[in-house]
Structure 1
Amino acid sequence: MASLFKKKTVDDVIKEQSKELRSTQRQITRDRTALEKQEKQMELEIKKMAKSGNKEACKILAKQLVQLRKQKNRTYATMQAVNKKMDPQKTLKTMQDFQKENMKMGMTEDMINDTLDDIFDESGDEEESQDIVNQVLDEIGIEISGKMVRAPAAGKNVPGATAASSKGATISDDEIERQLRALGVD
């Protein structure tokens, strides 16, 4: 039985995961860079508002700056979490374990199929097939086992066969009926 899953090599899976990891890292780096730019702009804006004496605007911008820095710190934590989860050695071990178990499952499946095939072959399929053939032949009026054994062979055993062939005469209807009765055909 064919496997339902497309088999991937360990190297293929590692390449895919590495590609996804690099893509995620680039996106996090871009986000972090954008946050750093916003942070610098806010710091400049806070200084500008402080020089102009607008304390209320400074407080609002300072709160936004604190939120921005927290967000930036979360990106660092996210990056560390991704690196920890995507440890290539752990991934490689997991994939090797998966591949080993997949091979075991395939071998087990083959053994089960072979065993089932052996069981079904030994279960009397040939006898059952012969019984079906005999039943069909009986239904259409041909009995193989009983009547064919009792049928006389052509030649010496058939009374009048040699006489008819040597004389060139035809066999009479009475002779044919007698031979059919001897065969058991009514």
Structure 2
Amino acid sequence: MFFWILLLQFKKTKELRGTQRQITRDRAALEKQEKQMEMEIKKMAKTGNREACKILAKQLVQLRKQKNRTYATMQAVNKKMDPKKTLQTMQDFQKENLKMEMTEDMINDTLDEIFDESGDEEECQDIVNQVLDEIGIEISGKMVKAPSAGKSLPSASKAKTATISDEDIERQLKALGVD
């Protein structure tokens, strides 16, 4: 809900900025027209054409009123675009966005944990055991005899020979169809 409010606020701010740019362009055009009219009035005054001067003077007065209206409009836009409010809105948006990202990360972590705990490891171990059983290697019995890190290793002279010979392995591989 908050995201949509922020989105609307940003759209409103964007529209206000566009309006402000347009008003600035219009005001610059009006100032340019004002300078041109002033030059025209001076030119007509030098030639002695008083009627043309009066007409241009009326147009100049109207132009200046229009320019003042754009200033008033610009002030109204600036009031609506309160920089403090805009900054606060952006900060709120960043906070909410960060919260949303954190929530998404937490959900993803939770889902990963759920799926990891769903027996995947047991299933993997079952598959490994099945494959080892198929090729004739019994791992559970041999793991008991395997030395642990905490115990000393027997010396080479006392070590027992392997119970599976090369001939046994070759016979089992041929039974599985492996050449």
When the two structures are superposed, what TM-score results if normalisation uses the length of structure 1? 0.47
Bigger Rg, structure 1 or 2: 1
When the two structures are superposed, what TM-score results if normalisation uses the length of structure 2? 0.49
